[in-house]
């Protein structure tokens, strides 16, 4: 057996050999410890998230809830130490709810059933539409939200194992960017490896992948953590200033929708998506272009005489 190549033992007992293993196995990654050891274990954030789904046909029967289905937008509520984000899924057949709250007895499992009664109690007193939605929920999952500091590296020292997505940069849900970051990782890695012609290019291409992706993923993690703080402010002067900024951003968006000029400078707005420069950076990213840019500059340096 060639011990220089990584091997994976599957649940079935089958042993698989490869030149490279990609660890895309999430925040509870089995493979992360082989890259960075056990020192970078995820830690609790103090929050957990109830998740629930309601058939939209039920919302459509209520004139106050009907707009939540008919208008193509995400609707959220924020309050002390809690927030709710809602949106349609499955071609408007179902209405998805994520209710973030202080973690009292959450489980790291993604399939742990939560208490509907506790969920309703934690959001008692929130506005009438929220109460109606809560009454429509019959079952819920409760996820403990975990976080992890930026890793020192995503690439194993031997160059035969690399991490991708939440295994190396887990994203808290406060910016809804977790899936996007993983897809971007995969696009960059796939693009770089489309140029692969020599076995000796694997390691430098892995480090190129990390170089291209590391700062962007780390900045997105930071933005998500910032939203946790912004959304959950206790009542008081900071909360009032947050609300003022968010209200101004909404009013300005309505002016623009009417064809009028924007009158606000949004840099640093409490609504991060109202910050036009942040939005340009987050949503104007092109993973393939970033990979191709790297290859045009550095690709010629990867020539080697030993073929795969």
Report the alpha-carbon angle 57-62-66, nearest 5.
70
Q: How far apart are CA 158 and CA 143, in angstroms?
A: 35
- Residue 307 among the catalytic residues: no
The CA-CA-CA angle for residues 258, 71, 266, to 5°, reads 50
Nearest to 72 by CA among 52, 92, 43: 92
Helices (H), 202-236: 202-231
Among the options 32, 33, 41, 51, which is catalytic? 51
- Exposure string for 6-32, b = 16+ CB within 10 A, e = fewer: beeeeeeeeeeeeebbbbbebbebebb
* Strand positions, DSSP E, the chain: 7-9, 15-17, 21-23, 43-55, 75-79, 82-89, 94-102, 113-114, 140-147, 161-163
DSSP-assigned letter for residue 260: P
Q: How far is CA 244 from the centre of its chain?
A: 27
Task: Kindly state the tokens that stand for 176.
Answer: 């809804």
- Taking alpha carbons only, the member of 167, 166, 146 closest to residue 31 is 167
Q: Exposed/middle/buried for 187, CB within 10 Å: 0-12, 13-18, 19+? A: middle
Which residue carries 């970078």 as its tokens? 40
Q: What is the largest CA-CA distance in the chain?
A: 71
Instruction: State the catalytic residues.
Output: 51
């Amino acid at each position: 057996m060639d011990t220089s190549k990584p091997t994976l033992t599957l649940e079935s007992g089958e042993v698989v050999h490869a030149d490279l293993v990609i660890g895309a196995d999430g925040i509870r990654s089995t493979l992360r410890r082989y890259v960075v050891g056990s020192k970078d274990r995820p830690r609790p954030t103090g929050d957990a998230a109830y998740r629930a789904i309601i058939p939209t046909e039920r919302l459509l029967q209520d004139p106050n809830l009907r707009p939540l289905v008919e208008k193509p937008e995400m609707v959220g509520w924020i309050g002390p130490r809690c927030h709710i984000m809602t949106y349609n899924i499955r071609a408007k057949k179902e209405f998805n709810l994520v209710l973030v709250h202080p973690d009292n007895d959450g489980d790291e499992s993604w399939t742990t059933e939560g208490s509907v009664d506790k969920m309703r109690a934690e959001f008692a007193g929130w506005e009438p539409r929220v109460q109606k939605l809560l009454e429509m929920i019959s079952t819920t999952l409760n996820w403990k939200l975990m976080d992890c500091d930026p890793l020192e590296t995503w690439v194993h020292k031997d160059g035969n194992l690399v991490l991708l997505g939440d295994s190396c940069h887990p994203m808290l849900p406060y910016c809804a960017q977790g899936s996007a970051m993983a897809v971007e990782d995969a696009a960059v890695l796939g693009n770089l490896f489309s140029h692969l012609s020599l076995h000796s290019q694997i390691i430098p291409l892995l480090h190129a992948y990390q170089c291209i992706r590391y700062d962007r993923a780390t900045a997105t993690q930071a933005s998500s953590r910032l939203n946790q703080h912004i959304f959950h402010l206790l009542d008081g002067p900071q909360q009032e200033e947050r609300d003022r900024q968010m209200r101004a951003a909404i009013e300005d968006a309505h002016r623009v929708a009417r064809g009028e000029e924007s009158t606000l400078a949004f840099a640093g707005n409490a609504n991060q998506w109202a910050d036009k420069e942040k939005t340009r950076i987050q949503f104007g990213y092109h993973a393939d272009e970033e990979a191709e840019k790297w290859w045009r500059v550095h690709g010629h340096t990867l020539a080697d005489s030993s073929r795969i």
